[in-house]
Amino acid sequence: MICTLSNPPLSSIILNAQTVGYKAAEALDNWIAGNTVGEDDIFFEPIDIVTRQSTDILAIDDQQAAQAIRFIRNNARRDIHVNDVVDQSTLSIRALQQRFRKAIGRGINQEIQRVRIGQLAESIINSNQTICQIACNLKFNDINHVSRMFRKVMGMTPVEYRKRFGTGRALKE
């Protein structure tokens, strides 16, 4: 919450607080029982990084591609398509696609999907809503399609993602 209150909003690291809590409780239980606790330090991998305005700088020389990427990031909560991005540009679809691939190594549609799946993933671990409700709020039309797309990008289903990275606040599905 503090990160979003600052100006500009600060990027932050999503920690797996639930796992950290369990490991700390386990170590404390072992210590109280007189067992060897093990190492003094326990390290945990972060779940993800939330990029906010403080570090969300596009280091792309191509201004048309950078403008298109900004449009995608600012409008991805709607059901946007390649034509919507092209309409915001002065370039043809072919020219913008080529510049996109040169600038970031993927096409416009791939970037739209990547950003939208990132928003879905963030909402899944930070919301009490069901995955269907979250998908609906993000204007995903077909839950089966979004589940397949999520699995392709994230390597697991939305439900598996919530179970693995959820903070414990999320509803059981």
* pLDDT above 70: percentage of residues in the chain: 82
Report the pLDDT value the prediction gives residue 52, as an integer from 0 to 100. 67
Q: How much is the pTM? A: 0.65
What mean pLDDT comes out for the span 13-35? 81
| Cβ proximity of 159 and 121 under 8 Å | no
Contact 111, 104 (CB under 8 A): yes
β-sheet bridge partners, residue 14: 48
Contact by Cβ (8 Å): 58, 64 = no
Residue 66: pLDDT over 50: yes
Q: What does the pLDDT look like over 81-130, one tens digit per residue?
A: 999 999 999 999 999 999 989 988 899 999 999 899 988 998 898 888 99
Contact predicate 159/173, CB 8 Å: yes
User: Nearest Cα to 23, choosing from 4, 1, 41, 50?
Assistant: 41
- Average of pLDDT values for 9-17? 74
> Judging by beta carbons within 10 Å of its beta carbon (0-12, 13-18, 19+), is residue 155 exposed, middle or buried?
exposed
